[in-house]
Amino acid sequence: MKDLLATSIKYQQGTLLILDQHQLPHREQWLPCDSADTMIAMIKKLQIRGAPLIGIGASLLLAHLAEQGASAASLRADAERLRAARPTAVNLMICIDRMLATLTEQGPTALSHCAEQLFNEDIALCQRMADLGADLIADGANILTHCNTGSLATAGVGTAIGVIGAVKQQGKALHVWVDETRPLLQGGRLTTWEMDRLGVSHTLICDNMAALLMAQGKVDVILVGADRIAANGDFANKVGTYSLAVIAQYHQVPFYVVAPYTTVDANCPDGSAIPIEQRNPAEVQGVSGSFGKVNWAPDSTPVYNPAFDVTPAKLVSGWILDTGVYRPEQIVAGALTTL
């Protein structure tokens, strides 16, 4: 397989390396990944994260294992285990299904080419989303975003943050409000890191400050990513997104979803059919990262910790995909089922 280089994943000289996002922003550590067990553990620990990126990472790993001589049966078994590692993120399943189809039709030696295609395709579709989205953003806009949706979550420039980067490249003035994104702080740790790298003016806020900012007229548009979009436009994203959409509608702030076509699940009729991952209670009982671990609640405290929530399509102003910008009336007419 050719050398493939991105911000948070690289295949170089026969080794797959993952930037450990658990250690960011204070430490940039690359970790080798050479087994399905290691990749699954990394996905569950969020050392590699972002719906598009985990699909790419799993595909590169399968290609690497094929090059190491793994049998078709072994590759199939690993693929199925990887496919189940993140139940909400449909990109992972779509990438694995393409790899499995290639394995069945052409054999293990063809997996490297398929993985390279998926990697390069992600870069290209991220750029298309960025360009389409940037044209919607006015000069001087104040943008609010949730979780992390940049080059740490994709092989390319990202989804919502990709749009932000393209706005900057167009020479427009902008400012970004960064939700800290509890309970895992992907905004506070990762999006701020990316904003620094992009040279974008930004301010970190607690998640529960968003309504106040909108009431004060300090938010012009909201951009978020997605882990799965249903056929009717409902979508799952990092928990807290639904709250933003409700508040945005009340304050008449445009609310856009930015995601690649690989996030659309045409077989999922609506948001009620999207499986939602439940995560470790410890993530709510305290916080951990490169700085260590702090617990503020008793270990025995009951916790409800869904990783994602579902936002109804009726709260969305538009869906910015690599295939185009879709308005609510197009979604109602079934535009997402024909991608």
State how far the Cα of 137 lies from the Cα of 117, in Å rounded to an integer. Answer: 31
What is the predicted pLDDT for the residue at 287? 81
- Asked if 227 is an active-site residue, the reply is yes
Distances (CA, A) of 18 to 154, 164, 191: 12, 24, 18
Task: Tell me the pLDDT tens digit for each residue of 94-150.
Answer: 999 999 999 999 999 999 999 999 999 999 999 999 999 999 999 999 999 999 999
Fold topology of 132-338: Rossmann fold (3.40.50)
In whole angstroms, what is the distance from residue 271 CA to residue 315 CA?
Answer: 13
DSSP one-letter code for 22: T
d(CA 108, CA 102): 8
The pLDDT assigned to 281 comes to 92
Q: Using an 8 Å Cβ cutoff, are 88 and 55 in contact?
A: no
Domain ranges of the chain: 4-124, 132-338
Residues 258, 259, 260, 261, CA torsion sign: negative
**pLDDT tens column, 297-306:** 998 999 999 9
What confidence tens digit (pLDDT) does each residue in 35-74 have? 999 999 999 999 999 999 999 999 999 999 999 999 999 9
Strand 9-12 versus strand 202-205 pairing type:
unpaired
Q: Is the pTM of this model over 0.85?
A: yes
Burial label, 21 (beta-carbon count in 10 A; 0-12, 13-18, 19+): buried
CATH number of 4-124: 1.20.120.420
Query: Of residues 122, 207, 227, 322, which has the active-site annotation?
Result: 227
User: CA-CA distance, 178 to 183, in Å (whole number)?
Assistant: 14
